[in-house]
Structure 1
Amino acid sequence: MKAIGIDLGTTNSVVTRYNDVRGTASVLANAESETLTPSVVGMRERDGSQKLLVGRNAVNFAARNPTDTVVSVKRLMGRDYAHETVAQARDRLTYEIVPGADDDPRAHVVIAGKHYTPAEVSSIILDKLRRDAARALGEEVTHAVITVPAYFLDAQRAATREAGTQAGLTVKKIIDEPTAAAVAFGLELNDQERRRVLVYDLGGGTFDISILHMAKDKDGRGHFQVLSFTGDSWLGGDDFDHAIVNRIIEWVKADSGVDPTGDKKFLFVARSKAEEAKRQLSQLDDADIVIPAAYRMPEGGGLGDVDMVITRDEYEAMIQPLVERTMRLVQQALADQNLSPEDISDVLLVGGSTLTPKVYETVESYFGAGKVRRDVNPMECVALGAGILAGTMNGVECPSCARANEEDAEVCEGCHQSLTGARTLDAPKIYEVTGMALGIGAVRGAQQDAFVPIIPRGTPYPLPEPMKRSFNTTDGRRIRVPVYEGDSTVASKNTEQGVVEYELPQEIDVNTRVDVSFNYDSDRIVTVRISVPGTHMIKEMTLRTDTPRTLQPAAQEYAEENIEWRQQLTATAAETHRFLETHGEFIDPAQTLTIRRHLEQAERALHFSDDTECQRMANVLRKDLYGSGVASQFLLAERATAGAPPETARQLNNAVADVRRSYQAGNSELVGEQTRLLRTLIAQAFTERDVAEVDDAVDFDGLLRIDE
């Protein structure tokens, strides 16, 4: 078994191997004798045949076929097509990004007419890295430690693990890039020396800040405790390139009046030239950007050339807002731990973008030049840390009896207890924390889209024991527990990890307490357990966030009916917009945000989704209309008044006016009493007209309720 470390980068990837004799890792050259492999996949078509190109070969051919050349695919890993990051990518990148087929919500990319998931594209890159490493080492490579940005969500980590598996690798560990860099730096520590380190990791596509305690014990083993991390998944060297591309576009418009933004080939070449200029401006005071025959002149004027100069001062002014964004995140990370710059002993600059003078000068100005370690290679240190881990992870220790077991063992050979969460032997000890909260979507008061954390942000993992919260059922025997990762109090604004469903057995009362517990292992895999205290009812499920999510069975049943759900959704969305305009002041602000989010999702469903998704969103909006507290009662009163006898209509109008006045006066107790009277009048009005009250048809779709 040969294991390697892989820094799977947005722009370039690096492979390392561990040397047992020296106790260090070294970088392996690829088949092109380069240490950096471009994270690029393209297609070459010649004489009717097609061939996938990877790395430098893909880059060299890209200008001739930019629409079939995939770059920066890391930014799409684990993302649904509807995610805002994917929308940004569609605006910037030259290749096509499309939704998955049928019920697969993930983003896909198109290469020569064939659809690939971002994980599949990454697996093509990883396969080349594996084969090149085997060639350099003269033996088969079977295992790897792969790095990811610290701020990658669980779905993105799972997609990275899946890419490794598809490339024929056993993924020993997915490790955060800043932590891997700290492991490489930790080789310099003296025994029993302690440091508090901040890792400033600005790569091609993502920015991470991690704060760690580092130490070596008396046996020389490194200990790395992650205190906190934060970051931005859309902030990196690509954005520096994009700023230069925008300047090139401005130059073309001013010089010729031509807008080249619709020309995919121009954009691809401009991006390549922008990247070259960025590197030059790290060394020189100006950079020439020359692109012969770059764009087509108007009215048959032939092809126009780009011939312009960007000075370092201009470039630094362009990227100043981006650098300031990184420093705001640095300040946030320090504040989260109640630390000041003086409390940091070392600052590690990681990622190729930290070679930009404006970047490292800004960091040095904030922390002091003496603390900023520029002697660590920013392009290689992440991969070196991964290589050290890959070579030193030699089995796992049973948490129950301390017996050593093989790395892929699921239960201990000695005591037969589960090895979930077991720590590795010999390797540096890494103590990580959750970057975001993990919890479920539930009902809280009048809000049907509340996020209830079960594992708080910043919790060390693997957990010594599951964490639990108690809930109550809301309606029927169906229990539906949607699991989310994020920090918003609104569940749907976070990232869905999966849904666990269960039907209560007949012997258990419908109105009962339900416990939901989460366990979180060292590979950041969450196991959800649903149980009813005092009974044998238990439902346990390990969430695989890298697999396609399907719509709920109830939604699929509706889809089989011949209903024009697009028309239904269009009408319901229009009614919801009117509802917000008319009664918005009486809706809880968090609920208002939820409704607006649902309206955005509804609009995307109308443009990109099938009837099943349109039906689902129509039902979601109906719940918003009739589950928004006082405002929903006003809506029902409007409907009840239409066609009601004059005296009933008068009573309803008076009751609505009373509730409005009390609400605006802030008298919540009186609002409650008057709303109950209003509900009674609404029910009477519907009864008189022999019409079912709309509110009665609205349920919570199996969500649990938390009473706090």
Structure 2
Amino acid sequence: MDYVPKSIGDPIRNEDAKELSKSETKYIGIDLGTTYSCVAVLENDQLVSIPCDNGQTTIPSIVGYCEDAILVGSIAASVGIQSENMLHDSKRLIGWEFLYDLPNANPELWSFKVDTKDNSAGYILNKRQENEKFVKPEEVSAEILKILKTTAETYLKKEVAAVITVPAQFSDKQRDATKRAADLAGLKLIHILEEPIASALAYNQKMELEENSKLLIVDFGGGTLDITIIETIDRFLKVKALTGDQHLGGQDIDDRIMKYVISEHLKKSPGHNFRDPRTLRLLRTACRKRKEALANTNSVNIMISPNNQDDTPINVRLTQEKLNELCNDIFAKITDIVDRAINMADLKKEDINYVVILFSKFKK
């Protein structure tokens, strides 16, 4: 059932979403994220997040390829899988034909190997080994979708069909690749829904916005930024502006922190091997977690033990002030895109009644 607009100005009704919840088929919503993914269902007109990983409502968007099994989420991150076969960022690679035109890519910070094959960017497992294998991003996304599908069906005790959210700036190729991921997962897909539109529906479901209200949604995910302005008219939500940057997200901040930690540590230990995949994986995890901790403190220490006995332990202090300095241009770009959306909607800042800010486990 296509109840979401493809273009600015088309109306959206919350009643359409409610009708889905009354169907005999159990419909679920899936946020297939760059860093984390989750699944939810509408029950008694309330959006309910389904626990899916050790009681958590999100799972890390990580897939580990072992010799005899494929692991997804926290378990993939916790076991001793060869780091080069621990894959993430499938949402950033999906639908791209070439690596050289991938914006904001920092392959030197990736613990996995990438290449292109058959007009698709993808991953290389077991590079230069007899069992070398090319894996497309949609195949990685499919493994995440399989887990979310199984989790939802176990929780609901029924077969499910899904709405999957994607960034508003996703191209047709990226949307088609996401659809292929659903097919590979054996998941019935009823619609691809823009992430900020999903946020607007959920917010209006909860708050019952007043007539002629104007809502600014800033959706800063792990790998993408969507800015949307929506107006309420006759119980409809009308999209006034839709813009963003599909290659600007929390992981770009992680990359800045990683580069800073590497630079600071090399001043003390010039010979440290930062090309080691395990070291890069551990460093990325540590940088992301300490970044999140900075929301509640003025400074943190980023520490990891060396993988090589010849390397020294990493211990670099990061302050909120330094983080702002490292990422000042990123924050300025977000502000510029917000201003662009307001101009696109032919509005002034004071015309906005509500602001919804969605971050992927990151707060400035």
Aligned to 1:39: 61
Partner Cα separation in structure 1 for residue 282 and residue 89 of structure 2:
15
Aligned to 1:654: none
Partner Cα separation in structure 2 for residue 234 and residue 82 of structure 1:
13
Q: Percent identity?
A: 30
Q: Map of 1:433-448 to 2, 5 A cutoff?
A: none
How far is the alpha carbon of 1:226 from its aligned partner?
1.4
Partner Cα separation in structure 1 for residue 272 and residue 344 of structure 2:
45
Partner Cα separation in structure 2 for residue 77 and residue 191 of structure 1:
35
Per-residue CA distance 1:608-652 (angstroms, 9 max, x = gap): xxxxxxxxxxxxxxxxxxxxxxxxxxxxxxxxxxxxxxxxxxxxx
Aligned to 2:5: none
Aligned to 2:122: 108
Partner Cα separation in structure 1 for residue 234 and residue 329 of structure 2:
39
Partner Cα separation in structure 2 for residue 83 and residue 119 of structure 1:
19
Give the CA RMSD over aligned residues. Answer: 1.9
Partner Cα separation in structure 1 for residue 360 and residue 105 of structure 2:
22
Instruction: Confirm whether residue 175 of structure 1 aligns to residue 193 of structure 2.
Output: yes
Is the CA contact (8 Å cut-off) linking 1:252 and 1:258 kept in structure 2? Answer: no
Instruction: Confirm whether residue 4 of structure 1 aligns to residue 17 of structure 2.
Output: no
Q: Which has the higher helix share?
A: 1
Aligned to 1:644: none
User: What letter is aligned with 2:171?
Assistant: L
Per-residue CA distance 1:140-198 (angstroms, 9 max, x = gap): 22x10000001111111111111112211121111110010000011245487231111
Aligned to 2:12: none
Aligned to 2:114: 97
Partner Cα separation in structure 2 for residue 188 and residue 181 of structure 1:
11
Per-residue CA distance 1:23-76 (angstroms, 9 max, x = gap): 12100001522111111101234xxxx2111111111136x5211111111001
Partner Cα separation in structure 1 for residue 229 and residue 171 of structure 2:
18
Instruction: Confirm whether residue 346 of structure 1 aligns to residue 359 of structure 2.
Output: no
Instruction: Confirm whether residue 313 of structure 1 aligns to residue 321 of structure 2.
Output: yes
Is the CA contact (8 Å cut-off) linking 2:272 and 2:311 kept in structure 1? Answer: no
Partner Cα separation in structure 1 for residue 306 and residue 110 of structure 2:
21
Q: Map of 1:285-300 to 2, 5 A cutoff?
A: 285-294=298-307
Partner Cα separation in structure 1 for residue 320 and residue 354 of structure 2:
28
Q: Map of 1:239-638 to 2, 5 A cutoff?
A: 239-258=252-271, 260-294=273-307, 302-353=310-361, 355-356=362-363, 358=364
Aligned to 1:137: 156
Instruction: Confirm whether residue 26 of structure 1 aligns to residue 48 of structure 2.
Output: yes
Instruction: Confirm whether residue 54 of structure 1 aligns to residue 72 of structure 2.
Output: yes
| More moved, 113-122 vs 146-155 | 113-122
Partner Cα separation in structure 1 for residue 190 and residue 332 of structure 2:
36
1:314 aligns to what SS in structure 2? helix
Aligned to 2:13: none
Instruction: Confirm whether residue 205 of structure 1 aligns to residue 223 of structure 2.
Output: yes
Is the CA contact (8 Å cut-off) linking 2:51 and 2:57 kept in structure 1? Answer: yes
Is the CA contact (8 Å cut-off) linking 1:76 and 1:86 kept in structure 2? Answer: no
Partner Cα separation in structure 2 for residue 66 and residue 197 of structure 1:
43
Match for residue 235 of structure 1 among 218, 229, 248: 248
2:66 aligns to what SS in structure 1? strand
Q: Which gives a bigger RCO, structure 1 or 2 (Cα 8 Å, sep 6+)?
A: 2
Is the CA contact (8 Å cut-off) linking 1:294 and 1:304 kept in structure 2? Answer: no
- 1:55–1:82 Cα change, 3 Å: closer
How far is the alpha carbon of 1:313 from its aligned partner?
1.5
Select the structure of larger CA radius of gyration: 1
1:32 aligns to what SS in structure 2? coil
Is the CA contact (8 Å cut-off) linking 1:189 and 1:215 kept in structure 2? Answer: no
Aligned to 2:184: 166
Aligned to 1:124: 143
How far is the alpha carbon of 1:86 from its aligned partner?
7.0
Is the CA contact (8 Å cut-off) linking 2:99 and 2:115 kept in structure 1? Answer: no
How far is the alpha carbon of 1:345 from its aligned partner?
1.1
2:69 aligns to what SS in structure 1? strand
User: What letter is aligned with 2:247?
Assistant: W
Partner Cα separation in structure 1 for residue 154 and residue 119 of structure 2:
38
Q: TM-score, normalised by structure 1?
A: 0.46
How far is the alpha carbon of 1:259 from its aligned partner?
5.2
- 1:90–1:257 Cα change, 3 Å: closer
How far is the alpha carbon of 1:294 from its aligned partner?
4.7
- 1:126–1:10 Cα change, 3 Å: same
Match for residue 193 of structure 1 among 211, 224, 229: 211
User: What letter is aligned with 1:79?
Assistant: W
Partner Cα separation in structure 1 for residue 251 and residue 209 of structure 2:
40
Partner Cα separation in structure 2 for residue 97 and residue 191 of structure 1:
46
- 1:8–1:262 Cα change, 3 Å: same
User: What letter is aligned with 1:55?
Assistant: G
Per-residue CA distance 1:387-422 (angstroms, 9 max, x = gap): xxxxxxxxxxxxxxxxxxxxxxxxxxxxxxxxxxxx
User: What letter is aligned with 2:31?
Assistant: D
Match for residue 88 of structure 2 among 41, 54, 71: 71
How far is the alpha carbon of 1:350 from its aligned partner?
1.4
Partner Cα separation in structure 2 for residue 266 and residue 189 of structure 1:
45
Per-residue CA distance 1:229-261 (angstroms, 9 max, x = gap): 111122111011111111110122100112534
Count, aligned residues: 335
User: What letter is aligned with 1:97?
Assistant: V
Partner Cα separation in structure 1 for residue 140 and residue 226 of structure 2:
24
- 1:294–1:306 Cα change, 3 Å: farther
Instruction: Confirm whether residue 146 of structure 1 aligns to residue 164 of structure 2.
Output: yes
Is the CA contact (8 Å cut-off) linking 1:178 and 1:350 kept in structure 2? Answer: no
Is the CA contact (8 Å cut-off) linking 2:53 and 2:59 kept in structure 1? Answer: no
- 1:214–1:95 Cα change, 3 Å: same
Is the CA contact (8 Å cut-off) linking 1:210 and 1:227 kept in structure 2? Answer: yes
How far is the alpha carbon of 1:124 from its aligned partner?
0.8
- 1:133–1:121 Cα change, 3 Å: same
1:194 aligns to what SS in structure 2? coil
Q: TM-score, normalised by structure 2?
A: 0.87
Partner Cα separation in structure 2 for residue 216 and residue 175 of structure 1:
22
Per-residue CA distance 1:198-247 (angstroms, 9 max, x = gap): 11010100111111112453xxxxx2221221111221110111111111
Partner Cα separation in structure 1 for residue 355 and residue 219 of structure 2:
10
2:168 aligns to what SS in structure 1? coil
1:316 aligns to what SS in structure 2? helix
Unmatched runs of 5 consecutive residues or more in structure 1? 218-222, 297-301, 359-708
1:53 aligns to what SS in structure 2? strand
Partner Cα separation in structure 2 for residue 83 and residue 154 of structure 1:
20
Partner Cα separation in structure 2 for residue 190 and residue 306 of structure 1:
50
User: What letter is aligned with 1:131?
Assistant: T
Partner Cα separation in structure 1 for residue 348 and residue 209 of structure 2:
26
Is the CA contact (8 Å cut-off) linking 1:96 and 1:109 kept in structure 2? Answer: yes
